Amino acid sequence: MVTLGNFLFRFRNGLFPLSLLLMLLPGRDLFADPLLAVALGFVIALLGQLVRASTIGFEYIIRGGRNKRVYAENLVTEGFYRLCRNPMYVGNLLIVAGLAVASNSLTCLLVVIPLYIVVYIAIVAAEEAFLRNKFGAAYDQYAVDVPRWLPRLGALGEALRDGRFHWKRVLVKEFHTPFGWITILVLMCFWHLVSQRTLELRYDTVRALAIAYVALAAIYLTIRYLKLSRRIVAD
């Protein structure tokens, strides 16, 4: 599993684009109205995004990999890492689950979620092997105190109270993620409307969706410009 995890770690940034293709898997409908599936999927994905943003905002972890290999500068145990050892991956799984629900396909739901769970289990196995080798007893104790996946909600108050939220860091490090999955959701919404031949009948929905997406794109480009021009930097 560690070997598989090291291999998958190299391509982890391509997982969300892959999900777009998997969303097209045909299957039995989850809801009669596909827009209900999109709405529910949005709520689930938004929860995942909140987990990611909160994790980054309270305690950023430099474990992005070097030369596409697992890497960590230090052992981070504060912030949302008090709740579970892999809050970023929990957020990712919620986003993927939301997209799977938004597809309105039972086949997609039964394929995508188990697939991504296996992928992240393998990646985490590789990361844990690295951390245990580098930090030894300190990591072993952390693993005993904090669960791997299911958050200790009782520790949420501590994480929020003892930490400072770095909103600039969230903007700089995370602005591309919500833009990516919301783009997928919007594309799926249009796909549902075209497939059901109700695009013209739902003109008000399409117009509102288009306006909201243009506004989101404008925000994305603004933050990207501010980041590249260094008018805003991570605090």
Domain ranges in the chain? 2-164
pTM: 0.91
Taking phi first (over 0 means left), then psi (-120 to 50 degrees means alpha), and beta for anything else, what does residue 166 get?
A: beta
Position 25 scores a pLDDT of 74
Position 121 scores a pLDDT of 93
pLDDT at 63 over 70: no
If one compares 133 and 163, the residue with the highest pLDDT of the two is 133
CB-neighbour burial class of residue 165 (10 A; exposed 0-12, middle 13-18, buried 19+): middle
pLDDT at 64 over 60: no
Mean pLDDT of 42-60: 94
Position 66 scores a pLDDT of 56
Q: How confident is the model at residue 62 (pLDDT cuts 50, 70, 90)?
A: low
Domain range 2-164, CATH architecture = Up-down Bundle (1.20)
Assign 3-class secondary structure to the chain.
Answer: CHHHHHHHHCCHHHHHHHHHHHCCCCCCECCCCHHHHHHHHHHHHHHHHHHHHHHHHHCCCCCCCECCECCCCCCCCCHHHHCCCCHHHHHHHHHHHHHHHHCCEHHHHHHHHHHHHHHHHHHHHHHHHHHHHHHCHHHHHHHHHCCCCCCCHHHHHHHHHHCCCCHHHHHHHHCHHHHHHHHHHHHHHHHHHHHCCCCCCCHHHHHHHHHHHHHHHHHHHHHHHHHHCCCCCCC
Position 20 scores a pLDDT of 67
pLDDT digits (tens, 9 = 90+) for 202-231: 788 888 889 999 999 999 999 999 999 988
Q: How confident is the model at residue 88 (pLDDT cuts 50, 70, 90)?
A: very high
Q: How confident is the model at residue 118 (pLDDT cuts 50, 70, 90)?
A: very high
94 within 8 A of 105, measured Cβ to Cβ: no
Position 114 scores a pLDDT of 92
pLDDT at 47 over 90: yes
pLDDT digits (tens, 9 = 90+) for 138-194: 999 999 999 999 999 888 888 888 778 999 999 999 999 999 999 999 988 888 888
Q: Mean of the per-residue pLDDT values for the chain?
A: 87
